[in-house]
Structure 1
């Protein structure tokens, strides 16, 4: 059986899908974080686990093409990280070419059939990219929690903790953050935050979104700031006429962040699509590559 592999690997999870050439989904798999910039070569292991789950009983030798969309793809220039990915493909039993590309490319492919346009991703991190013929030609942000990722889930979580530390027990959001942290005092919260792996702050993003949707003033201010920063990240591409695909948990699900970004783009008259399943977008790109190779060989 001919199989096509697609993977979407981000800071929170790695999701793989195996499809037939006509696009029928034959299997799915999910594993841990797949961003090598955040977790190094462990990302390759997580992606490998997701691929094994998607393959299930299917023969890995049947996979004729694969595309893996990875957040933090630039670190694959590190020989050790690149070797870890190569080792995973061999351990799984894949013998076909597996292309590893920026997650922006696969997210864009999941939201439109166009070959050129812009994509705005807001999940654990945040980045925008201008895509032309399946290639990233320009990006904005995507700089990680320390230098950027403004408006991301991690950014939202950090703002919530900072608000709680500064306004201890004086708002509903602050009380909810303290409950999440198990903190009995502002000092407890500070100590908790300093021990927490930075990616874990993103777990607070749904809380911020829920409180904002319920009208909590502090949460609403944080969400409005996130929307402003995400739109600014998109504007930094300097491609005002480009159609836009929204991707990542904050911009795909029914969140107030998505609502705010959508409202801004629609008022500008921008054509907007949504990347509901970037793993399928990756599989679509892989299928196109395989089809091109098949046509060329005949």
Structure 2
């Protein structure tokens, strides 16, 4: 039995699927963050390897004829040392087949539509928009990381919530303002504003992204304002790509789950498609390239594979 591997590696988790050449998914695996920019090449390669190993299960690596990995922070692989780390990881798994590593925007786009080009807007841990042509990234907007950009992302949203809570919390008060601020303080275990400041400066960037579900689930005016601003910033990022040319796909946990941000974007982009599991889409890309399918056959296979996949998890 011949198999292909598909991987979706982001700032929160790495997910892998193994599929047969008829598009049947026979294995799934997951592990920790696989973004080499944020966690480093060795840690990312190890997480991706763990996800693939779990997905393979009883299937031998010799049966894998191709693989595609969509990786956030893929630009760092231009460093030969980091690229060699990934090559070593494939070898350690026993994979000798062609294995293509591409930007996660490509696999996220393919998780929504089978068309070769259009645009994808991703908002999970980070945020980026990309113009896709023939399943290659032609142009991007934002995706600059938590320090310089990722506006409207989970990290941005959580950080804004902590900042707003600190600014609204009088230094002499022993309790935060009600609503979102109270929820943020409870999450941080903060009894005073000073406690919140101390907590914040000790956290890694990922800790702020973990607050995004809390903000999206809160209905007080501050939370609504922040999610509305996040949607506005994400639409601005998409518009930075220029006039639409082809379908638009929404991807990442903030835009595939039932959030206010997704609802606002769908109001502005009513025809946008929603990405399903990008790991399954990566496996589809591996099959499409390996089997040299015509457009109709590729679309049929895409529908069959994506029908097996849940909505993509947050990144």
TM range (shorter): over 0.9
How far does residue 53 in structure 1 lie from its aligned partner after superposition? 0.7
Distance across 1 between alignment mates of 2:108 and 2:88: 25
**1:192 and 2:195 correspond:** no
In 2, are the aligned partners of 1:7 and 1:69 still within 8 Å (CA)? yes
CA contact (8 A) 2:129 2:238 kept: yes
Q: Provide the C-alpha distance between the structure 2 equivalents of 1:83 and 1:200, rounded to a whole number of angstroms.
A: 30
Once residues 239 and 137 of structure 1 are traced to their aligned partners in structure 2, the CA distance between those partners, rounded to angstroms, is 14
Residue 7 of structure 2: aligned partner: 7
The alignment yields a C-alpha RMSD, in angstroms, of 1.0
- Output aligned runs, 1:41-56, within 5 Å: 41=41, 42-56=43-57
Q: Is 1:281 matched up with 2:281?
A: yes
Matches within 5 A, 1:114-263: 114-168=115-169, 169-211=176-218, 215-263=219-267
Q: Residues 71-90 of structure 1 correspond to what in structure 2 (within 5 A)?
A: 71-90=72-91
**Corresponding residue for residue 29 of structure 1:** 29
Aligned partners of 1:239, 1:108: CA distance in 2, in Å? 17
| CA distance in structure 2 between the partners assigned to 1:205 and 1:282 by the alignment | 27
**1:82 and 1:29 mapped to 2: Cα distance?**
22
Name the residue aligned to 1:265. 269
CA deviation string 1:52-81 (max 9, x = no partner): 010011101110000000001000011221
Superposed displacement of residue 241, structure 1: 4.2
SS in 2 for 1:37: helix
Q: Unmatched 5+ residue regions in structure 2?
A: 170-175, 294-315
Aligned mates of 2:58, 2:198 — CA distance in 1: 47
TM-score (norm 2): 0.89
Please list every run of at least 4 consecutive aligned residues from structure 1 whose deviation after the TM superposition is greater than 4 angstroms. none
SS at match of 2:17: strand
CA contact (8 A) 1:171 1:218 kept: no
